[in-house]
Amino acid sequence: MIVIVGISAITFFLARIAPSDPAALWVGIHARAEQIEKARIELGLDKPLYVQYYIYMRDLIGGDWGISYRTRRPVIEDILSYLPASMELAITGQIIAITIGIPLGVIAASRKDTKIDHASRVLAIAALSIPVFWIGILLQIFFSRTLGILPIEGRLDLGVSMSHPIQEITGFYLIDSLLTGNWIAFTDSLKHIILPAIALASYSTGLSLRMTRSTMIEVLREKYLKTARAFGLPENKVRFKYALKNAIVPTLMVLGISFSWSLTGAFLVEVIFNWPGLGTYVWRAILAVDYPVIVGIAIIAAFIILLTNLILDLAQAWIDPRVRL
């Protein structure tokens, strides 16, 4: 047992330093131009993104990833089949979080030190303090048991999936059912996703609110806004055009961190709501001591996060002319 533990631990860490993970070096916030260039060439990163992905996939299929002890299927297959469900949940949760968090943050910053500001700060901190798993259970108790209007768990009603099956295009039930005009399945998926998404969104909402607020406060203090006012620019133009563009960059960073936390929370939420995603898959793997799966998931999770950070970095470079890639 100890030998297996040792090997899996080493594999785990080794896999982290695997050549397919150089984006860690790339995305490092303190990276300088020459370092990045060197890394890119050395690691073949100057190839277009889909080519890199192909190489990565080739490695996967090449046998690094093994077969799941539990499902007896190649780990990659399992991962791919469960991935869309998790992504859908995570993205929905994020959308809810930023729809509430960012505008509130902007308002709180503009009306700093007023009642609205204090209230939003308390709200943000409360959102950050709620244990994700607990709020999930509470939501279940309240909406499913007491009110009975929303389903307890799962992604789609068994009956609905048989009578109105969703055609798989993207793997996202919400999008697919919309695309195919399958209204019944759409409303059902919506009912199923809303509670877990809210539970998931709680922490991220608090995070987005708080960070947007502090970013906006910083930006609103900046001297160039004083100049803009001195030249007679109207206040809402000052805020929305001049201030906001400067605030977007740090906000994107916030989104990156927030998304990272989302994946963590998604894990817990999936377990509670029996959501058929990677979280549940990994959970079962852990219970069954299914090592290849655990290692595989670890790498996938890291990969997703790095990819997200990469996208956000690119967005940042596009918006802020001072940033050099």
Partner 1 sequence: MSAPLLSVQDLCVHFDTYDGVVKALDGVNLEIPGGEMFGLVGETGCGKSVTALSIMRLIPENGRIVEGKIFFRAENLLNKTEEEMRRLRGRNISMIFQDPTVSLNPVFTVGQQIVDVIMIHQHVEKEEATRRAVEAFKLVALADPDKTLKLYPHELSGGMQQRVMIAMALSSDPDVLIADEPTSSVDVTIQAQLLKRLLEIKSARRLAILLITHSMGIVAETCDEVGVMYAGNVVEVGPMRDVLKNPLHPYTVGLLEAIPKPQSRGKRLPMVRGTIPDLINRPPGCTFHPRCSYAMEICGVEKPATADIGSGRQVACHLVKR
Partner 2 sequence: MPELSTPTEGREKREARFRETRLTLHILTRNPLSLASIVIFAFLLFLAAFAPWVAPYPDAYKGVPHVEDKYMPPSPEHIFGTDYLGRDILSLIIFGTRLSLLAGFTIVAIAVAIGWPLGVIAGYVGGKVDDIVMRVTDMFLAFPSLVLALVIAFVLGPSLINSMIAISVAWWPWYTRLARADAASLRERTFVEASKAVGLSDGTIMRRHILPNTMAPIVVQATMDLGTAILAEAGLSFLGLGAQPPTPEWGLMISMGRSVTFSAWWYATFPGIFIFITAMAFNLLGDGLREALDPRLRRIRGG
Residue nearer to partner 2 on the CB measure, 185 or 195: 195
Interface positions, 110-169, toward partner 2 (CB under 8 A)? 113, 118, 121-122, 125-126, 128-135, 137-138, 140-141, 145
Interface pick for partner 2 out of 264, 284, 315, 317 (rule CB under 8 A): 264
User: Residue holding tokens 């009975």?
Assistant: 148
In the structure encoding, which two tokens stand for residue 231, read together? 């030249």
Q: Give residue 32's region: left, alpha or beta (phi > 0; psi -120 to 50).
A: beta
Residue number, 100 or 282, with CB nearest to partner 2? 282
Binding residue (CB under 8 A) for partner 1 from 16, 32, 73, 237? 237
Whether the CB-CB separation of 156 and 166 falls below 8 Å is answered with yes
**Who contacts 313 (Cβ-Cβ below 8 Å, separation ≥6)?**
27
* Spatial distance between the Cα atoms of 161 and 188, rounded to a whole number of angstroms: 9
φ/ψ of 153, rounded to 5, equals: -155, 180
Spatial contact of 191 and 151, defined as CB atoms under 8 Å apart: yes
The contacts of residue 16 (CB under 8 Å, 6+ apart) are 298, 299, 302
The partner in contact with residue 322, picked from partner 1, partner 2, none with C-beta cut-offs of 5 to 8 angstroms by kind, is: partner 1
Tell me, what DSSP letter sits at residue 274? T
> Of 245, 243, 213, 248, which is closest to residue 227 (Cα–Cα)?
243
166-205 footprint of partner 1 as x/- string (CB under 8 A): ----------------------------------------
Asked if residue 318 binds partner 1 (CB under 8 A), the reply is no
Two structure tokens written together for 98? 């930023």
Q: Does 184 bind partner 2 (CB under 8 A)?
A: no
* 216 interacts with partner 2 by CB under 8 A: no
For residue 59, give every residue at least 6 positions away whose Cβ sits within 8 Å of its Cβ, in sequence order, or none: 20
Does 7 sit near partner 2 (CB under 8 A)?
no
Selected binder of partner 1 within 63, 159, 181, 234 (CB under 8 A): 234
Q: Is 109 in the site for partner 1 (CB under 8 A)?
A: no
User: Which one of partner 2, partner 1, none is in contact with 321 (Cβ closer than 5 to 8 A by kind)?
Assistant: partner 1
What is the closest distance, in whole angstroms, from the C-beta atom of residue 146 to partner 1 in the complex? Answer: 48
d(CA 258, CA 293): 25
Residue number with CB closer to partner 2 (155 or 210)? 210
Query: Considering all CA atoms of the chain, what is the largest pairwise distance in Å, rounded to the nearest integer?
Result: 73
Q: How many whole angstroms separate alpha carbon 265 and alpha carbon 202?
A: 10
CB of 70 to partner 2, least distance (A): 15
Contact positions vs partner 2 (CB under 8 A) = 5, 8-9, 12, 16-17, 24-25, 27-28, 30, 113, 118, 121-122, 125-126, 128-135, 137-138, 140-141, 145, 221, 260-261, 263-264, 267-268, 271-272, 283, 286, 294, 298, 301-302, 305-306, 309
* Footprint on this chain of partner 1 (rule: CB under 8 A): 222-224, 226-235, 237, 242, 245-246, 319-322
